[in-house]
Amino acid sequence: MLVILFSSCNHDDDKGHYKEIVSDKNTLHDYVLQQIQTKLAIATDAAGKIDDSLTLKFFNPVEEFYYTHDYAPVWSDTGKFSPQINQLFSYLDTAIRDGLYKEDYHYSALQKITSILQHDSAAMKDAFLWGRADLMLTDAFMNIISDIRQGRLISDSLAYKNDTTKFNDFFCSNLNLFLKEKNKDTVFRNIQPQNKDYIALRKTIHPFIQTMDTFHYTILKYPYTFENENDSIEYINQLKIRLSESKYITLEKEIDSLKLASAISKYQKDKKLNPDGKISKALIKYLNNTDNEKLKRLLVSVDKYKEFPDSMPQRYIWINLPSFYLKVIEYDTTTLKSKIVCGKPSTPTPQITSTISDMVIYPTWTVPVSIIKKEMLPGLKKNSAYLEKKGLKLYDKNGAQVDAATINWAKYSNGIPYKIKQGSGDKNALGVMKFNFLNPYDVYLHDTNQRYFFNNSMRALSHGCVRVQNWKELAFFIAQTDSANLSSADSLTYNKDSINNWLSKKLRHKIEVKNNIPLFIRYISCEANDGKVVFYEDIYDEDKKLADRFFAGK
């Protein structure tokens, strides 16, 4: 016998639902199957949405899975859950160690609906709820394994959930295995990326969580705008609350502007900031850099490593922009390390995968159009001798040198019909060595005539190119690699000695690199070092934006 009702029982997992009460327990399986098929049919034309309180994030692989199982329930049988549901909940309770927040996988809703189905005698006969629970569990599982393997940052075009070849090979096969396995760790462990840097950083999550300050501090906006006096008052009140949370003021007492400035100054002094008592970007950034925000950046960084293959090249050049370092990696060992200067926040260095194609000794510098617009043209408008003072020369489209003083610079506002170049030499902005690699941004690695910048701790100072302190050692590494990998039918026209010779004689020389060295320029604000996580400054606020996008409210 079957009874169909509509209920407004207000369960959080299902606010108002049809009940399909099956009096004969032996027929419950068939009715649950029908419910699964019906719900999937509804979701087909609604982008995975079944109703206002449930959307299947992984609808396509979920639908494929049930199709291969003739839409039968897989997490329960005749009113009883399989043991694997406990395995799934057990994993979710510790999922943060893999960088996953359990609430992203229907956790609360699943706990409520499974509790109802296990303890409410009437609900145990409800095919509607059993079908709903089965779909939620399958969707949660597929979401979990996707996030473990690919992370949350992957583009839709590359996501497994949109790749039909992965539906059976990845999603269905792993769920089938999980439903048969007694050990929950088998499936989740086997799909973990094997990139060594990912493994090392993932291992730092649990130790960090064990020692972190779990208090959720007030997060302040910056920059801020005060549209009216009330906005200003509200912002100052939020700042007072934040300072009180760190015990720098007591809210019970009246806090005037002098007391607030004094509290800010004390905080700044303790944190080794300029103790001027003023609200600034540095102050707000430091106040917002709580352990909870750090954890989010750590999880973003873990996901970024998932975008790399399990095995990296035998040797490659690795630049992590927030660390301000370049590394040469050979057989998983760092054989060269160098400080770098990268792009300013206003002119950030792009993330690039390429290969070193050639090196230029004593290069000339053709000023990029972007720098001409932002810096050179305004300078020329003020003083036609601007270029001469900087050791730069002006050329027309035919390559003829032009006297800047003969040009009416006031008529130009969006670029100029000329090229600006700097000749080779020790004063050249590129220094005495340039490393070229194919990229659409017109950036490169190079030496610099401002070598004192390498003494700074914050080295986001360039227009976008990467300046390398140990440029000579890098050139020697490339020469040595070229020599060691030379084929018998080929010959090499340079080595360390010839590089030194050209440098000593200040001869401009272009060196073609035969065995192109892979180059990775990345932005990862957390790295592992001896089992502990190292946090770098989020110089472009990239990881904060990603954390706000993927972990809002966490």
SS3 breakdown of the chain: % helix, strand, coil, rounded to 5?
45, 20, 40
What stretches of 193-346 show up as alpha helix (H) in DSSP?
196-202, 205-211, 229-245, 257-270, 281-288, 291-305
Q: What is the pLDDT of residues 451-482, one digit of tens each?
A: 999 999 999 999 999 999 999 999 999 999 98
Q: CA–CA separation, 317 vs 551, rounded Å?
A: 32
Q: CA–CA separation, 341 vs 454, rounded Å?
A: 7
Q: What is the pLDDT of residues 346-394, one digit of tens each?
A: 999 999 999 999 999 999 999 988 899 989 999 999 998 999 988 899 9
Q: CATH fold of 312-362+428-523, please?
A: L,D-transpeptidase catalytic domain-like (2.40.440)
Domain ranges of the chain: 2-192, 312-362+428-523, 365-422
Paired sense of beta strands 315-320 and 509-522, if any: parallel
List average pLDDT for each run of 10 residues in the chain, which is 554 residues long. 49 58 90 96 95 95 98 95 94 96 97 95 93 98 98 95 97 96 85 96 97 95 73 89 95 88 95 92 93 97 96 96 98 96 96 96 92 91 90 91 92 90 91 96 95 96 97 96 77 88 93 92 97 96 95 90
Please choose, from the candidates 371, 377, 374, 387, the residue with its C-alpha nearest in 3D space to the C-alpha of residue 408.
377
Q: Which residues contact 182 (CB under 8 A, 6 or more apart)?
A: 83, 87
Q: CA–CA separation, 239 vs 231, rounded Å?
A: 12
Please state, rounded to an integer, the average pLDDT across all residues of the chain: 92
Instruction: Give residue 401's identity as a one-letter amino acid code.
Output: Q
User: What global pTM score does this model have?
Assistant: 0.90
